[in-house]
Amino acid sequence: MGLGECLKSQVLCQVLISYVFLASGLLINLLQLCTLPVWWLNKSLARRINCRLGYCISSQSVAILDWWSGTECTLYTDPKMYPLYGNENGIVVLNHQFEIDFMCGWSFCDRFGVLGSAKVLVKKELAYVPVIGWMWYFLEIVFCKRKWEEDRITVSQSLQKLRDYPENFWFLLFCEGTRFTAKKHQISMEVAEKKGLPKLKHHLLPRTKGFWVTIQNLRGTVAAVYDSTLNFRNNESPSLSGILSGKKYHADLYVRRIPLESIPEGEAECAAWLHKLYQEKDGFQEQYIQTGRYPGPIVSTPRRLGPLINWLCWSALVLFPLGAFLVSLLSSGSTLTILASLAFCYGASLLFRWMIGQTEISTSSGYGNKVNNS
Ligand SMILES: CC/C=C\C/C=C\C/C=C\C/C=C\C/C=C\C/C=C\CCC(=O)SCCNC(=O)CCNC(=O)[C@H](O)C(C)(C)COP(=O)(O)OP(=O)(O)OC[C@H]1O[C@@H](n2cnc3c(N)ncnc32)[C@H](O)[C@@H]1OP(=O)(O)O
Ligand SMILES: CCCCCCCCCCCCCCCCCC(=O)OC[C@@H](O)COP(=O)(O)O
C-alpha cells in the first residue's frame, strides 16, 4: 500500500471529510434559506442562485468520487449525440443496482455542466436527510411517496413547475422504484409473469406510472430520454464507505439518446414502450457481463477541476475555524467544555454514519418486497 492509499484509509481523514461536508453543507442550506425573499422578487434569479449553491454541495460528492478515490467513470455513447448532452433538457432512465449510482450520475452531470440543476424523482423519506435532502427543496426536486393515489397529483404539479426552469437540466428516473435485491427481483418477476411480460435477469420490473407522468408533463420542455445503463468492472460492489476510504472503482455507463417524439403518448402504449426498453437494457447488461463492455464506442469525458477546487475552498473555510476552536479548547483546560465538545463530535459522527446508511442496500426499504405497492 502506497503512502497516499495509507493516508486515505486513516479514520482521521474520513472524520475531517465528514466534518467538511456537514459543516459546509449546513452553511449552504442556511444560505439557501436566505434566498427565500429573492423567490418573490425574481424567481429566475433565485433558481439560478440555488443551482450554484446546490453545486457547492453535490460537487463535494463528485470531488470525493473523482479526485479522492480516483474512481474512473467511462462513457459509452454515440459520438454524434455527444454535443447535445448538457445543451438540452433530458430525462435520464437509469438502472438502480449500486450504492453509489447517484454519485456516478452526479459526476456525469458535472462533466456536462448540469450538476447544479440536476433533478430526480426521489422518495419522500430522503427529504429529511440534512444537507442533501434540505438542498433538494430549493432545487425543486420532485418527491414521491410511492403511493400512486397521492403521487399522481403532487408529482404532476412538481413537474409542471419545471416547464419554465431557466437552466438546462437532466431529470433522473429510477423506474425500478427501489434498489435491486434478490428477493425484490424474484417478486417482481412473479408480477412480470402474471402480466405476461418477458422475465428480466438484471433489472426489477419497471414501474411505469412515474415514467408516463414525467413524459406527459415534460413534453415540449425536454428533448430526449437518455437511456442509461451502469455497471462496474470486475464485479465490483462499490460503496460510499469504500469511496471515503479512497478505494478506486471503475464505472461504465452506456447512454442512448432517444428523441421524446418517438415515445408514445397514451398511458398503456407508453408503459409497453418502457417495458421494451428494460428488456433491451437487460440485453446490454448481459452483453457487459459476457464481454466486459457495452455496445458502441467510448467517448472521452475527463473529470473536471471544478469539484476539486470547490471542495478545497470549502475545506479551507470550515477547517480553519475548527483548528482555531480546538486550540482555544485545549488551552482553556475546562473538562466540561472538552467533554461537551467530544459529545457534540460523537453526535455529528453518528449523524454522518446514519446518512451513509441511507445509501446502503442492506438498509433498503421493504418497497417491492410484496406483490403490491408497499
Ligand atoms: C450522458 C450522461 C447521462 C446520464 C447520467 C446519469 C445520471 C445523472 C442524472 C441526474 C442525477 C440527479 C440526481 C441524482 C441524485 C440522487 C438520487 C438518489 C436516489 C434517489 C432515488 C429514489 O428515491 S428511487 C425511488 C423513488 N422513485 C421512483 O419510485 C420512480 C419509479 N416509480 C414510479 O414511477 C411509480 O409508478 C410511482 C412512484 C410514481 C408510484 O408508485 P406506486 O408504488 O404507487 O407504483 P405503481 O402504481 O407504479 O405500482 C403498481 C404497479 O406496479 C405493479 N407491481 C406491484 N408489485 C410490484 C413489484 N413488486 N414489482 C414490480 N411491479 C409491481 C402493479 O402490478 C402495478 O402495475 P400497473 O400495471 O397497474 O401499473
Ligand atoms: C465530501 C464528502 C462527500 C460525501 C458524500 C456525501 C453523501 C452523504 C450522504 C448521502 C445522503 C443520502 C443522499 C442520497 C441517497 C441516495 C440513496 C438511494 O439510492 O436511495 C435509495 C432509493 O432510490 C430507493 O430506496 P430503497 O427502496 O432501495 O430503500
Cell numbers placing 58 = 453535490
Bridge partners, 257 (sequence order)? 226
**DSSP reduced 3-state for 94:** strand
Centre of ligand 1 to C-alpha 177, Å, is: 3
- Model pLDDT for residues 282-316, shown as the tens digit of each residue: 999 999 999 999 998 999 999 999 999 999 999 99
Type of residue at 193: E
Number of the ligand closest to the Cα of 84: 1
Centre of ligand 2 to C-alpha 339, Å, is: 32
Radius of gyration of the chain (CA): 21
Centre of ligand 1 to C-alpha 123, Å, is: 9
C-beta separation of 159 from 152 below 8 A: no
Dist. CA 104–CA 83, nearest whole Å:
20
DSSP H helical ranges for 64-131: 101-111
Provide residues with CB under 6 Å of ligand 1.
85, 92, 94, 102, 105-106, 108-109, 118, 120-123, 126, 144, 146-148, 151, 170, 172-175, 177, 187-188, 191, 204-205, 207-211, 226, 228, 255, 368, 371-373
Of 102, 169, 207, best ligand 1 pocket probe by most atoms within 8 Å of the beta carbon: 207
Dist. CA 15–CA 76, nearest whole Å:
36
122 Cα nearest atom in ligand 1: 23
Give pLDDT, residue 374: 43
- Model pLDDT for residues 44-98, shown as the tens digit of each residue: 999 999 999 999 999 999 999 999 999 999 999 999 999 999 999 999 999 999 9
Dist. CA 254–CA 78, nearest whole Å:
9
Bridge partners, 298 (sequence order)? 76
**DSSP reduced 3-state for 226:** strand
CB-CB neighbours of 305 under 10 Å: 11
- Give the H/E segment covering residue 235: none
DSSP sequence for 324-358: HHHHHHHHH--HHHHHHHHHHHHHHHHHHHHHHHH
Dist. CA 338–CA 332, nearest whole Å:
9
Dist. CA 215–CA 222, nearest whole Å:
8
Bridge partners, 144 (sequence order)? 123
Centre of ligand 1 to C-alpha 146, Å, is: 8
Type of residue at 346: Y
Look up residue 222 and give its DSSP letter.
B
In a 10 Å sphere around its CB, with 0-12 CB exposed, 13-18 middle and 19+ buried, how is residue 222 labelled?
buried
C-beta separation of 373 from 146 below 8 A: yes
Dist. CA 251–CA 231, nearest whole Å:
6
- Give the H/E segment covering residue 131: none
Question: How long, in residues, is the chain?
Answer: 374
pLDDT tens over the chain, length 374 residues: 677 888 888 888 888 999 999 999 999 999 999 999 999 999 999 999 999 999 999 999 999 999 999 999 999 999 999 999 999 999 999 999 999 999 999 999 999 999 999 999 999 999 999 999 999 999 999 999 999 999 999 999 999 999 999 999 999 999 999 999 999 999 999 999 999 999 999 999 999 999 999 999 999 999 999 999 999 999 999 999 999 999 999 999 999 999 999 999 999 999 999 999 999 999 999 999 999 999 989 999 999 999 999 999 999 999 999 989 888 888 887 888 889 888 888 888 899 899 999 999 999 999 999 876 54
Dist. CA 173–CA 214, nearest whole Å:
9
Dist. CA 329–CA 276, nearest whole Å:
62
Give pLDDT, residue 3: 78
CA 371 to chain centre: 27
Bridge partners, 73 (sequence order)? 251
